Structure 1
Amino acid sequence: MANESMKLKPLGSNKYTDGEGGGNGNSPGTNEDYDPHLHRVVENPTTNVETLIHLLKGCLGTGILAMPEAFKNSGIFNGLVSTFIIGVLCTYCLHVLVKSQYILCKRLKIPILSYPESMKLALESGPQCLRPFAKMSPLLVDFFLIAYQLGICCVYIVFVGVNVKAVGDQYLKEVDVKIYILASFIPFILINCVRNLKLLAPFSTLANIITFASFGVVCYYVFQNLPPIDDRPSFGRLYTYPLFFGTTLFALEAVGVVIALENNMKTPKSFGGYFGVLNIGMAFVVVLYIGMGFIGYWRYGEIVKPSITLNFPAEQPLSQAINLLYSLAIFISYGLQGYVPVAIIWNTYVVKRLEGSTHLIAWEYLLRFACVIVTFVLALTIPMLGLFISLFGAFCLSALGLAFPAIMEICVNWPDNLGRFKWILFKDILLIIFGVVGLLAGSYSCISEIINEFKKQA
């Protein structure tokens, strides 16, 4: 078999110590003194500040530029309140997920568990009616994780195509956005072929600088000539509210990032808590998203675009520079986001079937090409940025970020630790219902709008 340098490193993979706590996880341990955090072996662990920076980076992508359009679908006052509530709910569910994983690790004497493994082990110890689903649960979690990450990549491709087109139309003959998307195919292939993420680190730093600098220019435009706030409706239509829900969930939820960050911290106990890394980071993100959505919709109203940068005067050099620079930042981020589905597919489903092969590198590159091709086919088929964001947010994150953590919490506390009057059980059932309704309603609204858009174009 090829040496370890040829293999992708799994996201959130297990690492066991050779001493105490190095069990195989097949039988539960009874030693209450076992602390999974003390038995983790992490290469290059991150400090609290570094973890906070990574958390902010994982949450601040294309979603924040779509928040003004999300507020258009909800109404300005409803959007403000709903974004806060969804932000609190997402943060709470992330705490539930991390805590449930910790309980499982402590119970089984395992230092680290991935999300799919945690789901399987939780269901095996949960109510009898859920145990038959344990075997297939890792596949289901992987499906949503892969779909979500590929969805992010699709959004990034469309974002780059739409924003570059906005600039190109000022100097060249106006052409369909699909031409710009196709023209970016080779660059996206190349960046997804970077197998060592350390090589992307300097470019990621550049992307962060561009992103935060762009926020300053966005503020410069949106605070100009604000109309009377009474011109904006406080509440939108019920039909469009699921679109708001999907966009906001896509923008705020970072379940895959959160698990990886907590697993790689030097002091993982600092991640939770009232003033822990997660709460501080999410509080900053929620305030930023509320501000962007509120001010952006207040400024542009019903004419707001799926990315607020498209509302800026296309003929102005400053606006053109922001469109191009932000597109560059998102292009760089594609390499990071594309790494996740490749890692899951390669390590979980492919590499074990290629044991003994002398062409592992070639197979890995083939997988990388295939992932890029899939995202481009979707982007070319449905080049609708706002609807793409809402669809993947509602479909994937309602399950990954809301329903699944609640199911895990029920299972790991079953049957004797569900609180007084079993309040944890009833609370989690409400979260599951909320997640399922969000998934169904959000997906239905997005698909309906996509069909309507195709009918308009026909």
Structure 2
Amino acid sequence: MAPELKVPLLEGRGATPAQTLGNILVSIVGTGVLGLPFAFRAAGWLAGALGVAAAGAATFYCMLLLLDCRDKLREQETEEDGLGDERRLNRGDGGNYTYGDLGERGFGPVGRYFTEAIIIIGQTGGSVAYLVFIGQNLSSVLPALSPPAVVLALLLPAEVALSFVRSLSALAPFSILADACTVLAVAAVVKEDVQLLAERGRPFAGRSAFAGLWGVPFACGVAVFCFEGFCLTLALEASMSNRGRFRPVLFQAIVGVTIVYISFGVCGYLAYGDDTRDIVTLNLPDNWSTAAVKVVLCVGLALTFAVMMYPIHEIVEARLLAPGGWVRRRCGGVVQRAALHLSRVAVVAALAAIACFVPAFGDFVAFVGSTVCALLSFVLPALFHLRFVGPTASPWARAVDYFLLLAGLVFAGHGMYTVLAPIYN
């Protein structure tokens, strides 16, 4: 059984609404936000805003679906063993479930393996995006380190060393630091945007509200990627001292983040127009303050890269040491520990190698968002809800589930097509 994904700022239970709000923001906000202006360039400022709003609303609704599935499973277990909620909490499990648990309860071991595989691929995509972002930004500040592969080669030993830290509590400050650096970068971009818009006088002149049909899926893919942290929904809710207040706190967080995303994307596109880069920090002027912002942001992301890798390492090691597994059967204690260390080195090195071949940050983020993130955020929650709650749900609720399921699959299929079609041609 794979370990539960943990809450970045608070492990265990007893979180207040304010702490939970902070956990949600840390879980959701990431580097993807700096690719939103480029997405708005592809779709148009109005189409991009509507796409981000739709992604935020759908994400919030699907998070509620996961909570409904968890509540249904609690009811079923209470009926099966006759334990009340208080006795269940005293027993120690609290009726908590991970994303993988839902897959196993609904579809057996295959459901768990598939769900965990999607989680690993999603975390891998986010981790690679971190490395691509760091490589491109540091290369723009220090041309001597160009191409970005040189930056990643120099960064690899430090990332390998951080991967040996096995305590999420020790890594959590790095995640907070990365979010603080992201806020700093967003503030620097907004400051530059406001100055450029003030100079232009007519901000919407020459800017497309709707740039074309094919740009909309691209913008939606970036938007879905920006609402990362979906797999932590159940853990975030379980961390609260008063779980009944989680839904309104979640609603406040999603609405606030959506407003910030739309504002940032619109302002960035209006400021730079067709010159908007896939990482908007690359549009900033070449001066010492911009260079400092980029370097600080990259340092923060490099330190928090280990947090992104944490679930991947945990799942990989759980499989290596599974009962009956090759490592457990053939290796002793010292060799087992060496194998675990080597697995971490191999995973980090493999992701760094993949990042060297990613041509563009924006295209990669849109691809991950429209494929893996769409499966995690829309398809699996709708499928689980139909499995657990569907028989007793209203026809309207089932219709929405089927719509999300089919729309998510079509969205993922389109994302795969946009990548594979040029290769085939």
Fold shared per TM-score above 0.5: yes
Of 403, 408, 424 in structure 1, the residue corresponding to residue 379 of structure 2 is 403
**Pairs aligned (count):** 397
State the alpha-carbon separation in 1 of the partners of residues 12 and 116 from structure 2: 24
* Deviation of the 1:344 alpha carbon: 2.0
What pairs up with 1:298-337 in 2 under 5 angstroms? 298-314=270-286, 316-337=287-308
- Report the counterpart of residue 10 of structure 1 in structure 2: 3
Gaps of 5+ in 2: 79-92
Within 2, Cα distance between the matches of 1:92 and 1:9? 26
Q: Which runs of 5+ in 1 are unaligned?
A: 1-7, 14-41, 124-133
Match of 1:245 among 220, 224, 234: 220
**C-alpha distance in 2, partners of 1:233/1:414?**
42
For the residues of structure 1 that align with 2:359 and 2:149, how far apart are their CA atoms?
7
Aligned to 1:212: 183
After superposing the two structures, state which structure 1 stretch, 322-331 or 224-233, moved more: 224-233
Q: Aligned partners of 2:161 and 2:278: how far apart in 1? A: 27
RMSD: 2.2
1:441 maps to what in 2? 414
Contact 2:28 2:229 (8 Å CA) reproduced: yes
Residue 30 of structure 2 is aligned to residue 61 of structure 1: yes
TM-score by length of 1: 0.81
Matched, 1:260 2:235: yes
Q: Does 1:121 align with 2:105?
A: yes
**Cα deviation 1:401-430 (Å, max 9, x = unaligned):** 101111111111242x121xx222221111
Amino acid of the structure 1 residue aligned with 2:317: W
Q: What is the alpha-carbon distance in structure 2 between the residues aligned to residue 81 and residue 306 of structure 1?
A: 20
The residue aligned with 2:74 is: 105
Residue 138, structure 1, aligned to residue 106, structure 2: no
In structure 1, what is the Cα distance between the partners aligned to 2:398 and 2:255? 27
CA contact (8 A) 1:76 1:235 kept: yes
Q: C-alpha displacement at 1:157, in angstroms? A: 0.6
| Counterpart residue number, 1:32 | none
- How far the C-alpha of 1:145 sits from its partner, in A, is 0.3
Deviation, 1:44, is 5.0
For residue 311 of structure 2, what is the aligned residue in structure 1? 340
CA distance in 1, matches of 2:278, 2:176: 26
Tell me the CA shift for residue 156 of structure 1.
0.5
What CA deviation, in whole Å up to 9, does each residue of 1:311-346 have, x standing for no partner?
A: 0012x1011011101111111221111001111222
Specify which of 245, 262, 270 is matched with residue 270 of structure 1: 245
Inter-CA distance 448–323: structure 2 relative to 1 (3 Å threshold): farther
Q: Distance in 1 between matches of 2:177 and 2:387?
A: 43
The correspondence for 2:265, drawn from 268, 293, 303, is 293
Secondary structure of 1:143 counterpart: helix
More deviation, 88-97/422-431? 422-431
Letter in 2 for 1:77: L
Partner of 1:280: 252
Q: Structure 1: which amino acid aligns with 2:243? A: P
Answer yes or no: is the 8 Å Cα contact 1:243–1:445 preserved in 2. Answer: no
Give the deviation of 1:292 after TM superposition: 0.9
SS in 2 for 1:262: helix
Does 1:363 pair with 2:347? no
State the alpha-carbon separation in 1 of the partners of residues 398 and 32 from structure 2: 32
In 1, the alpha carbon distance for the partners of 2:174 and 2:405 equals 39
Q: Deviations over 1:5-43 (max 9, x none)?
A: xxx992249xxxxxxxxxxxxxxxxxxxxxxxxxxxx83
Specify the SS of the correspondent of 1:184.
Answer: helix
Alpha-carbon distance in structure 2 between the residues aligned to 1:175 and 1:86: 35
1:437 to partner: Cα distance:
0.9
- Distance in 1, matches of 2:238 and 2:2, equals 14
Q: Which amino acid aligns with 1:302?
A: D
TM-score, scaled to structure 2: 0.87
- The structure 2 residue matched to 1:222, chosen from 193, 199, 203, is 193
Contact residue 96 and residue 406 of structure 1 kept, 8 A: yes
Superposition deviation, residue 442 in structure 1: 1.9
Choose the corresponding residue for 1:158, options 132, 135, 140: 132
Letter in 2 for 1:310: L
CA offset digits 1:291-322 (Å, max 9, x no partner): 111100111111111111000012x1011011
Q: Which amino acid aligns with 2:52?
A: T
Q: 1:374 to 1:268 in 2, by over 3 A?
A: farther
Kindly provide the amino acid, as one letter, of the partner of residue 63 in structure 1: G
User: Do the aligned residues in 1 keep the contact of 2:103 with 2:111 (CA within 8 Å)?
Assistant: yes
Letter in 1 for 2:187: G
Normalized per residue, the structure richer in helix is 2
What CA distance in whole angstroms lies between the structure 1 residues aligned with 2:379 and 2:238? 22
Equivalent residue number for residue 148 of structure 1: 122
SS at match of 1:223: helix
Q: Would the aligned equivalents of 2:30 and 2:228 in 1 still touch at CA under 8 Å? A: no
Shift of 1:211: 2.6
Residues 215 and 104 (structure 1), Cα distance of their counterparts in 2 relative to 1, 3 Å cut: same
Task: Give the drift of 1:200.
Answer: 2.3
